[in-house]
Amino acid sequence: MIKILTYNVNGIRSAASKGLFDYLKKENPDIVCLQEIKATQEQADIESIEKLGYHHFWFSAIKKGYSGVAVFCKQKPVHVHYGCDHEEYDHEGRVIRVDFEKFSVISVYFPSGTSGDHRQEVKYRFLDYFYEYSKKLQKELNKLVICGDYNICHKPIDIHDPVGNKNNTGFLPEEREWMEKWFTHGFTDTFRKINQEPHQYTWWSFRANARANNKGWRIDYISVTDNLESAVLDARIVPDARHSDHCPMWVTLDV
């Protein structure tokens, strides 16, 4: 049994200052997937990570203080693949993959689209590319766990105000259609396999006291290929962990 945790930390140095590593020590996941690290490996507290017993792998954006993903794992992987073989997205530090003998884990940070039409178009292109890229990986690697900030709410249950946000990026019809395609063509939403309750969110705006009022969005996911669906033992969102505007979620798998 392994425990995999995913977390958009909104800056690993900021999250570390709020107790991130104490939290990881308490939760003790076997694999940690981080997004929006906003730092290079040289800028992070490597000593604290290694004290927890993790091998660590980083894929930072070229632009300083922006984006970036990382994976920490107790077991050393047989291979690490940096990027998703696309220059634009790799410059932004969007994807890193670690391969083990029986399965592979990806940490991915989807573009958000919040800064205007141009970035929304980047997001749509990324969705198209990443879908095809993942399908190709399925043929090569068979069992995939894709963790990260997808920056999309799948269904009305996944957002506090579906009517008011119907025209906002992250809940646009085209984005939701992509998520539906994703989860009906080879991937399982691990959290919804376990938990069908409403008001379960992973991100809250800093504005209008949104987190205290639980006015959030579920935009972080751990997807597994359908051949791992039966291996899902548990999946949880942890809203009380407060090192970021997101919260972590984790899954336990019998692999």
Query: 81 CB contacts (<8 Å, ≥6 apart)?
Result: 96, 97, 98, 99
Query: 68 CB contacts (<8 Å, ≥6 apart)?
Result: 35, 36, 37, 38, 39, 40, 58, 59, 60, 61, 93, 109
Q: Which pLDDT score, from 0 to 100, does residue 113 have?
A: 86
Cα separation, 69 vs 10, whole angstroms: 11
**pLDDT tens, the chain, 255 aa long:** 999 999 999 999 999 999 999 999 999 999 999 999 999 999 999 999 999 999 999 999 999 999 999 999 999 999 999 999 999 999 999 999 999 999 999 999 999 988 889 999 999 999 999 999 999 999 999 999 999 999 999 999 999 999 999 999 999 999 999 999 999 999 999 999 999 999 999 999 999 999 999 999 999 999 999 999 999 999 999 999 999 999 999 999 999
Q: Tell me the catalytic residues.
A: 149
Are 179 and 152 a contacting pair, CB within 8 Å?
Answer: yes
Q: Which pLDDT score, from 0 to 100, does residue 200 have?
A: 98
20: exposed, middle or buried (C-beta count within 10 Å: 0-12, 13-18, 19+)?
buried
**Which alpha helices (H) appear in the chain, and where do they start and end?**
12-17, 20-27, 46-51, 87-91, 117-141, 173-184, 190-194
- Order across the sheet with 31-35: list the strands: 55-59, 69-73, 31-35, 2-8, 249-253, 232-237
Query: 131 CB contacts (<8 Å, ≥6 apart)?
Result: 178, 181, 182
Q: Which pLDDT score, from 0 to 100, does residue 116 have?
A: 83
189's enclosing H/E stretch is strand 187-189
Q: Which pLDDT score, from 0 to 100, does residue 114 have?
A: 85
**Three-state DSSP class for residue 230:** helix
Are 113 and 151 a contacting pair, CB within 8 Å?
Answer: yes
How many domains are contained in the chain? 1
User: Does the global pTM surpass 0.75?
Assistant: yes
Q: And the tokens for 38?
A: 């906003």
Cα separation, 172 vs 177, whole angstroms: 9
Helix 117-141 / helix 173-184 crossing angle, nearest 10 deg: 0
Cα separation, 101 vs 84, whole angstroms: 20
Q: What is the span of the domain harbouring residue 53?
A: 2-253
Q: What is the CATH number of the domain that holds 47?
A: 3.60.10.10
| Residue 66 DSSP code | S
Query: 207 CB contacts (<8 Å, ≥6 apart)?
Result: none
Q: And the tokens for 30?
A: 């076997």
